[in-house]
Structure 1
Amino acid sequence: MRNAARSQVVVITGATGGVGRAVVREYARRARGVALLARGRAGLEATAKEARTAGCEALPLEVDVADEEQVSDAADEVEERLGPIDVWVNAAFTSVFAPFSQIAPEEFRRVVEVDLLGFVHGTNAALERMRPRDRGTIVQVGSALAYRGVPLQSAYCASKHAVQGFHESLRCELLHDRSGVRVTMVQLPAVNTPQFSWVLSRLPKHPQPLPPIFQPEVAARAVVHAADHPRRREHWCGGSTVGTLIANAVAPGVVDRYLARYGYAAQQADVFSDPGRPANLWAPADGASGRDYGARGVFDERSRNRSWQLWASQRHGSLAVAVVGGAALAAAAVSRRRRL
């Protein structure tokens, strides 16, 4: 699989920070070329330099994924300069941390344009080029919040719910057409990304992910694994994601009340927000400062570097064989003892 991946051309939106940046690093070690789609020039230059140092051809492109024409033009440039696109990863997003009553209509609209329509535009650009070749993979980077809304993130949750529905509809259509193009989605847990330092926030304290928190490298490994195994309709990353989705399916009303009671405090750190902090809703966070934010946020000490659930999920076939084989050996041993 690694040798095959080394010939791949991969497009990653939201490539300069957080999960997108971590995905670039994963592919830089194994793909032939990576196209980096993001808005901030400083982040693009730093990300491209990292990819090239790892031995991968990098193409940084300043793109606002909310603009369909920009996305389509970028896809044309990728194919002209790097070759046919094999994998397209939709990871770009923005958000507003505030109660719904404190989010302006234009702010809510902007989040939806990036987090939902940005995925639609990227998917459409990929499909237009993959369908005639009857091959290619599209990965939608989702979240446990695609199933379970939480307070203070109404625009983001609404967008992720919509992406989930879009993904399911598109997958059915591709199956109906017997298309060789695959689409899959990765549902992520809370991740230690720089977004909590640059997201537009009206909270009194510094926003933080709902614990437990995982490092973006864990999420990136899940995304790359999903791209390698796109026949699975969905991949879950993190035990907390599994627990959240199961709890919401079984007792959503209980989860509502739990989040109503604890969700506000759990999404705020014990430090007050800096009034001068950047906000990337309308412009890239690195635009004014020229700062490269990288993949990780400020919660390193509280973040997990691995997920046993992800490890098991990626080996579910082998583990099932091992369990069945172990059960058979145990049954044989019991039977032998009885005969003796």
Structure 2
Amino acid sequence: MNQVVVITGGSRGIGRATAVRYARRGARLVLIARDRTALDSAAAECRRAGAQVLPLSLDLALPESAQRAVDAAILRFGRIDVWVSAASAFSYGSVEDTPAPVRDRIVETNLLGPMRDAQAVLPRFRGQGSGTIVFVGSLYSQVASAYVAPYVATKHGLLGFARALRQEMLGQPGIRVRVVLPASVDTPIYQRAANVTRRTPHPLPPVVSATRVARAIERAAKGRRPEVSVGVAQFAARPLRVLAPGLYDRGMRILQRTLGLRRRPAPDSAGAVLIPLHDPGAISGGWRRIPRGSR
């Protein structure tokens, strides 16, 4: 393959699964994350798969980080073929209770970060005459759920941004804009979420593997479909929202309060939203092994 692939959020979850997949195909990788410990662990895993890896410890909520990443990638590898914007942060809490710093950091990471990614890398794509940017959205790019409003808002915004950008790139046939829209994914994001609900969070079932999402990202990057959904079962929510919005609203609130937020008590926490929690990182959060009635 020998492509140069930049992956934000490359130390955990979907980003790390995508990095390992590209590493096994001979890509040269630039991995970006805040947590140096997890980043180095992910880089070592990709090197064991045979890849050349440039790990960059950058906070993508900061305005200058995207341009620094582009410059470092070009300096090391000379080009960028695929940019995967997978960095994301999550929180649980009502709109009233969610602390402003948590809300603002989620907007910076999930929405402004990918927007800055695109602005920084597009001039390189134009100069090369080619390049693909893949945004990792969510089922929440198209539907909503109570108690996760900042995340929902950013993923709605990201899908709208990607669609607008795709229209702008119609005159640049070598530049492709893709969006992958997974439902609940087995990653550590839920354990690392900010939480002010006093309940224990859990992804809404059924939960798909991050490896499955990574496959979809790779297919999207080289395929023709502008938007790729992952996790068919939960996407049944989309037509229900249109056909019966009142029923959808009540049903989603019940699902979130019973399956998404378990009654087991949990202390208020900012999780890893505001500062990194240093650990080796992982692709899976272990959620597919947890019985539905637990936590």
Q: Same fold (TM over 0.5)?
A: yes
What is residue 194 of structure 1 aligned with on the other side? 188
- In structure 1, C-alpha distance between the alignment counterparts of 2:245 and 2:173, rounded to whole Å: 36
Change in Cα spacing, 1:130 to 1:106, as seen in structure 2 (3 Å) is same
Change in Cα spacing, 1:261 to 1:278, as seen in structure 2 (3 Å) is closer
Q: Is residue 2:40 matched to residue 1:52?
A: no
1:202-217 to 2 correspondences below 5 Å: 202-217=196-211
C-alpha offsets along residues 202-249 of structure 1, whole Å, 9 cap, x if unaligned?
1223211111111111111111111121x3120111112431223223
What is residue 294 of structure 1 aligned with on the other side? 282
| Mean CA deviation greater in 138-147 or 126-135 | 126-135
AA partner of residue 287 (structure 2): F
Q: Is residue 2:105 matched to residue 1:113?
A: no
AA partner of residue 277 (structure 2): A
Paired residues of 2:198 and 2:268 also in contact (CA < 8 A):
no
Match of 2:277 among 285, 295, 300: 285
What is residue 236 of structure 1 aligned with on the other side? 229
1:283: how far off? 1.0
1:84: how far off? 0.5
Paired residues of 1:144 and 1:244 also in contact (CA < 8 A):
no
AA partner of residue 208 (structure 1): H
What is residue 88 of structure 2 aligned with on the other side? 93
Richer in helix (by share): 1
AA partner of residue 261 (structure 1): I
Change in Cα spacing, 1:16 to 1:121, as seen in structure 2 (3 Å) is same
Q: Is residue 2:260 matched to residue 1:267?
A: yes
Paired residues of 2:102 and 2:270 also in contact (CA < 8 A):
no
Change in Cα spacing, 1:192 to 1:269, as seen in structure 2 (3 Å) is farther
Change in Cα spacing, 1:58 to 1:66, as seen in structure 2 (3 Å) is same
Q: Is residue 2:253 matched to residue 1:253?
A: no
- In structure 2, C-alpha distance between the alignment counterparts of 1:123 and 1:13, rounded to whole Å: 12
1:1-340 to 2 correspondences below 5 Å: 6-175=1-170, 177-229=171-223, 231-269=224-262, 271-273=264-266, 275=267, 279-286=271-278, 291-302=279-290
- In structure 2, C-alpha distance between the alignment counterparts of 1:238 and 1:10, rounded to whole Å: 25
1:302: how far off? 5.0
- In structure 2, C-alpha distance between the alignment counterparts of 1:7 and 1:214, rounded to whole Å: 29
- In structure 1, C-alpha distance between the alignment counterparts of 2:232 and 2:91, rounded to whole Å: 26
- In structure 1, C-alpha distance between the alignment counterparts of 2:163 and 2:57, rounded to whole Å: 29
Query: Could you tell me the TM-score, scaled by structure 1's length?
Result: 0.82
> 5+ residue gaps in structure 1?
1-5, 304-340
Paired residues of 1:48 and 1:60 also in contact (CA < 8 A):
yes
- In structure 1, C-alpha distance between the alignment counterparts of 2:199 and 2:38, rounded to whole Å: 26
Paired residues of 1:15 and 1:21 also in contact (CA < 8 A):
yes
Instruction: Give SS of 1:198's match.
Output: coil
- In structure 2, C-alpha distance between the alignment counterparts of 1:227 and 1:188, rounded to whole Å: 15
AA partner of residue 151 (structure 1): A
Paired residues of 2:74 and 2:80 also in contact (CA < 8 A):
yes
Query: Could you tell me the TM-score, scaled by structure 2's length?
Result: 0.94
- In structure 2, C-alpha distance between the alignment counterparts of 1:104 and 1:39, rounded to whole Å: 21
Return the index of the structure with the highest Cα Rg: 1
C-alpha offsets along residues 34-67 of structure 1, whole Å, 9 cap, x if unaligned?
1001000100110010010000001100111122
- In structure 2, C-alpha distance between the alignment counterparts of 1:67 and 1:277, rounded to whole Å: 22
- In structure 2, C-alpha distance between the alignment counterparts of 1:129 and 1:103, rounded to whole Å: 38
Paired residues of 1:137 and 1:181 also in contact (CA < 8 A):
yes
Q: How many residues are matched? A: 291
Aligned-residue identity in percent: 34
